Structure 1
Amino acid sequence: MPHVARLMSNCASLAAATAVLAVSFQLNLEPAEAQRRVRPRLVLFATSALGMTVLFTYEQMTHRSPQVYALYLLLFISYLGFAIVDFLVQAVSQSRSTRRSSVRIGLRMAAAGCAFTLVYAVYKLTVLISLGLGFHLVSDHSGCSSLVSTPCVFSVTSPALAALLICVGRTLTAVVYPVSQARRRRWEAQSFEALGPLWQDLSAAMPNIDPDFTRPLRTTPTSCSNVG
């Protein structure tokens, strides 16, 4: 079927936006509340994808009717805009409340990706208005020769940057946290080794010192507050 890649690409974009929302809810809400919020969004996604498929098929049967394509775009933009704004609000609010710098930076990167997605949605809305009024100001079916030329910068570059920023932002914490923990354990081991001569002096000066005194030093730095 001609131009079926457009339908697959648009449905994949909606699926990705839904997945990002679901992951965000699971990370930041209680399981029951997260499921309650994800369920209606899954229904909206399935309804939008089904409607887009029906309209796309009818559009091909009617030789790419501009009116049918406008309805197709309306479904696509409506759900995409809803999902992105929903995630943008979450990302901004969470970035203000989190205390971990990697999470804050990652959420801000994801919010920047949402901004690029909104640029793409505005471009699609312009195409929709152009088709609805019959002006044909934007040729949405033309091929792209450059990623910085119009309209490719809006139709291809913006969503690509959005996907990159959102993916990197949401995975940044998962990558940075193990690295920071490994560096912390290395620092702890070096610190404990540096305390070896001090312990030798203490044990030489006080042979009857309690051996349990050193146990907190072998666990975590927070446990050292229990010493003494």
Structure 2
Amino acid sequence: MPEHMQRRLIMLMCLRCGNVLETLHETELAFHLRISDSELADTKALFMQKGFIDDAWNLLNWDKRQFKSDSSTDRVRAYRNKNKASETLHETEVKRSSNALDTDTDTDTDKEDTSPSAAIVSLPTDRQPPCEYQAVVDLYNETLPELPSARLMTEKRKKAIKSFWTWVLTAKKSDGKPRATNSSEALGWIGEYFARARDNDFLMGRTPPTGQHANWRCDLDFLLTDKGKTQVIEKARAAA
């Protein structure tokens, strides 16, 4: 599938993740994808042929595409069942021993506590979904075509994308809620982040920098930095 179609599919997933897709008419969808009505028709035909969407632009097999975290529920259930069986066995042994004469004159005062309540359960933390390096770059190029295009995946840029990806999945908003908990939500938030950058006159060059920064232009690398996040998030109408 052509690269531009791949980018449109990613944007479609971002809109679905943000619960926006189902509210859009096709003209509005074309605007969000930054394409014409005829290009939207071609996109729809291809995506239906590939089995990505139905006639109403609903993404098919959406749940299967969601990242499934490493839940500890099954481990906890197994642990409790094991403890329950251990308690039953322990009670049976106590009853049997109480029916026999205790001829042992030695008294153990420092016995090890082997009861189930003394056991410590070590549960693994949820795994972080793998970083979608190219998807992040595609979102930037698709959402902000006015800015310098990102074409190369250098090690420095890859490291910056990974750091930004981790921040999106781990840092919480001012209301204490996470920005994203899985790969789809992370891409959705990042897409909105790039879109929010367009409302910043400084980043978009509508208020050109002066002095030694006269030739400076915002790009992907800057948006991934702490300074870039400050410009985008603090200038936004709502907290990111």
Same fold per TM (> 0.5)?
no
Higher helix fraction (1 or 2): 1
Q: Which has the higher contact order (CA 8 A, sep 6+)?
A: 2
TM-score in terms of structure 2 length: 0.28
TM-score in terms of structure 1 length: 0.30
